[in-house]
Amino acid sequence: MYRLNQQPIDLASLTAASPPNCCVNFEFGLADSDAFYYLDQEQLKALEKALKVQSLPILDVFFTAKYYIKETKRKSRPLQFDYSILRFAFQNEDIDLLLHYIRGIQRIPRKDLILFLKNQIDQELAQEQHETLIMKSLF
């Protein structure tokens, strides 16, 4: 997945339904009991430590897509954000990914977003020399 402090992504590379010069940054937060905490180095270390003790049957992730239009090299105009929750449910060798939009105008269609996330996960798995994901259905 995207590392912290990642570079903005040209929205046209994610979806054909993109305004000109539109970019997106992603922020992630992890669920812990009844709250979400933005993913930073401290939260990442705590998650890695927890995963060494036991596997998680479910991982809920708060997901923010922050859009903006690049007007000049130094100036950009923010657009409305999208807020979603991603649920990763782990069962045996399967992973179910559930996507729930909370708020926003959904600039990235669900199918495009899920395919983007799958590709990012596959890249990380390949770097670690693990098998990549096999998509069984998308609806």
Query: Structural domain boundaries of the chain?
Result: 9-127
pLDDT at residue 6 is higher than 70: no
Distance of alpha carbon 92 from alpha carbon 95, whole angstroms: 8
Residues 6 or more apart whose CB falls under 8 angstroms from that of 19 comprise 11, 69
Residues 6 or more apart whose CB falls under 8 angstroms from that of 64 comprise 26, 27, 28, 29, 81, 82, 83, 84
**Token pair of 6 as six digits:** 């990642």
Give, as one character, the DSSP assignment of residue 23: E
For residue range 89-128, what is the model confidence (pLDDT) as tens digits? 988 888 888 899 999 988 998 888 888 888 988 998 899 8
pLDDT at residue 15 is higher than 80: yes
pLDDT at residue 83 is higher than 90: yes
- Tell me which residue has tokens 């590392």: 3
pTM of the model: 0.80
